[in-house]
Amino acid sequence: MVYIYLEKRDNLWISAGFTRDLKLMCSSLPSPSITRALRSLLSTLYSRRIFAVKIPSAFTKEVRLAFEKISIAKYLPSSMNGNFLSTVRRILDKLYAVWKGSRTFFSEDEISLGEVSDFAKRVLCLTIKIPRGFVTTYGDIARLLGEKKYSRAVANVLSENPIPLAIPCHRVIYFDGRLGGYSAEGGIRTKKQLLEREDVRFTLNGRVRKEY
């Protein structure tokens, strides 16, 4: 079962899904619209063949409006185990800190990648290690996996990243400094904004400068 939790930070809704043992398994980018935030999150869960979630009882109407393909049950966050609220709020704070460009790091112990393939897990676990203020390329990750020809496969995995911000796929670009794709809301424009908040600089033609 996946437990959805969401709160506002600076008038933006942050939503995330957690396993029973409070591992982060999906997230959406902050949004001024609760419906958009939930739709993005639930679409990610649906693509991972997760068809049932628990949602705080105060938000069940919004969930049904956002996405009708998933079975919804209610729960009261205050009735969960003692560290539930402190843990999920700490994770939301960290997600929002990455969104704002702060120096924040997620560890593999904080996330759950569930049923993704072994190859995808290797890609995502390498990506989570890319620090703020730096970028790497799809080809660099492919080489670390043993074969440069895996570059396209790496890009495909990152296009389906279930935990954006925690797994900072926005820090992975093409070899020539072009940004490549970004499947989260806002696309390449959002990817560029995230990198700029992390003090990554661009050339006049919009490519990441070589020193990064």
Catalytic status, residue 169? yes
Name the catalytic one among 37, 154, 169, 194: 169
Residues 9 and 7: their CA atoms lie apart, in Å, by 7
CB crowding 153-185: b at 16 or more within 10 Å, else e: bbbebbeebbbbbbbbbbbbbbeebebbbbebb
Task: Find all residues with CB under 8 Å of 82, minimum gap 6, and list them.
Answer: none
**Cβ 166 vs Cβ 95: under 8 Å:** yes
Task: Find all residues with CB under 8 Å of 155, minimum gap 6, and list them.
Answer: 138, 180, 181
Residues 38 and 17: their CA atoms lie apart, in Å, by 10
**Cβ 29 vs Cβ 186: under 8 Å:** yes
DSSP structure class, residue 159: H
Q: What angle do CA 206, 209, 212 make, to 5 degrees?
A: 130
Q: Give the torsion sign (CA, 39, 45, 49, 52).
A: negative
- What positions carry a catalytic annotation? 169
